[in-house]
Each structure stands twice: as structure tokens, then as C-alpha cells.
């Protein structure tokens, strides 16, 4: 049996800034799928902390991907919001990235999952920021990526509500006071694994 290939595209949330390699959400998800008896390769992660949609696009080009993947995840946009970029630019760039993600999945939209952008405004890092404004902007960005996913018939996973629980549970935030912890990534993985399983049936 050929092992299942998983491509994860994103930024700090996909590469797992501040957590151990085995705590990254793509790695935890692959492990959960293995526990269901599926033979899954280590995920190929194309992601770097700080990347915007445009930078992920460049990163994908540099990676020179030639293979087709069984499942692909896409989570991108927090740095567009953080840098105050125009949401119209995000809309155009995210559309292009999702089209690429679908192509990497062998033109099977059901084999791609878009994850919503976390709300970093609830973290200690944002203590001196306008948290309400951050939340509103994150919601606006997520409305865009959800609409585009639906238009392209790509499954969508909302993980933003998980990240907002950090207000009451400091253990959901990594040591830097900004990024999610392995504990929070575990919750994402448990929500994501069934969607990928469905695609692989």
C-alpha cells in the first residue's frame, strides 16, 4: 500500500513556532490518522513564521513541488492582518493559493482543508493592543477565506474559537505569549483528522 502524502501550507501556525516538532498540528494530525490504521508519511510542511499570502506563494515556488498529495491543508493570513494589508489583496492572493492547493491535491477540492486564522488578540503578547479591533479584523479575514473555500467546494475548519479560549486557559499559549501551545494544536488535530479521513475514504 502506498503511504498517504500530506502537504501543509501556511505560516507560524503550521510550522509550529515555539513548540516541539511532534506538537505541530500537521504532525499530530498524521499521528491520529496512523492510529486509525492509515499509513501516513511525515507531512511536508511549507511554512515559515511571519509569512503573508504573497510570501507563501514565493515559498511554494521555491519548493518546486512536482508531486501530487493525498491531502493538503492551507492556513494563511494572520500576517496580512498584522501588517495592516488590504483585505482585497488577501482575497486575490488567497484565491490563487487555494487554487494551487487544489492542484497539489490532484484537482480534488474535497482533499483540501482550509483552516481559519487564529485570534492572536487574546494572547498576552496583545495586552497593549486593541483586542476588539484585532478580533473584528480576524473575523473579516476568516469571512473571506471561508467564502472562497465554499465557492471552490473545499472543506473548512474553524479553529479560531479554540484559540479564543486562551483568555481562560493560559496553557493554550506557548512560552512566547503569542503562539498556540501543543495542547491547543492537539485540539486542532482532533478536529482536522476526521475531515482528512473522510477525504481519504
- CATH code of the domain in which 84 resides: 3.40.50.1110
Low-confidence residues in the chain, pLDDT < 70: none
- Asked if residue 1 belongs to a domain, the reply is no
CA distances to 81, 100, 163 from 89, in Å = 11, 17, 25
The answer to whether 197 and 33 have CB atoms below 8 angstroms apart is yes
Residue 1: the pLDDT is 73
Mean pLDDT (the chain, rounded): 97
| pTM score | 0.97
Cβ neighbour number for residue 124 with a 10 Å cutoff: 11
How confident is the model over 118-177, as pLDDT tens digits?
Answer: 999 999 999 999 999 999 999 999 999 999 999 999 999 999 999 999 999 999 999 999
Q: How far is it, in rounded angstroms, from Cα 57 to Cα 43?
A: 19
**What is the number of domains present in the chain?**
1
- Asked if residue 141 belongs to a domain, the reply is yes
Give residue 95's domain range: 6-200
15 contact partners, CB below 8 Å, separation of at least 6 = 24, 45, 47, 48, 49
Residue 201: the pLDDT is 85
- Asked if residue 55 belongs to a domain, the reply is yes
Instruction: Give which of 85, 87, 19 is closest to 47, Cα–Cα.
Output: 19
- Asked if residue 119 belongs to a domain, the reply is yes
Amino acid at each position: 500500500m502506498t503511504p498517504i502524502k500530506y502537504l501543509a501550507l501556511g505560516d507560524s501556525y503550521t510550522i509550529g513556532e515555539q513548540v516541539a516538532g511532534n506538537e505541530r498540528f500537521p504532525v499530530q494530525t498524521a499521528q491520529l490518522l496512523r492510529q486509525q490504521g492509515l499509513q501516513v508519511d511525515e507531512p511536508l510542511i511549507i511554512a515559515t513564521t511571519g509569512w503573508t499570502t504573497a510570501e507563501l506563494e514565493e515559498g511554494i515556488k521555491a519548493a518546486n513541488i512536482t508531486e501530487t498529495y493525498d491531502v493538503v491543508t492551507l492556513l494563511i493570513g494572520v500576517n496580512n492582518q498584522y501588517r495592516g494589508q488590504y483585505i482585497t489583496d488577501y482575497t486575490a492572493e488567497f484565491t490563487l493559493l487555494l487554487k494551487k492547493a487544489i492542484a497539489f491535491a490532484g484537482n480534488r477540492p474535497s482533499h483540501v482543508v482550509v483552516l481559519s486564522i487564529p485570534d492572536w488578540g487574546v494572547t498576552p503578547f496583545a495586552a497593549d493592543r486593541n483586542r476588539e479591533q484585532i478580533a473584528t479584523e480576524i473575523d473579516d479575514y476568516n469571512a473571506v477565506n471561508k467564502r472562497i473555500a465554499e465557492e471552490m467546494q473545499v472543506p473548512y475548519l474553524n479553529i479560531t474559537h479554540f484559540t479564543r479560549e486562551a483568555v481562560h486557559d493560559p496553557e493554550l499559549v506557548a512560552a512566547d505569549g503569542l503562539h498556540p501551545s501543543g495542547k491547543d494544536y492537539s485540539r486542532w488535530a482532533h478536529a482536522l483528522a476526521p475531515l482528512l479521513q473522510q477525504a481519504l475514504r
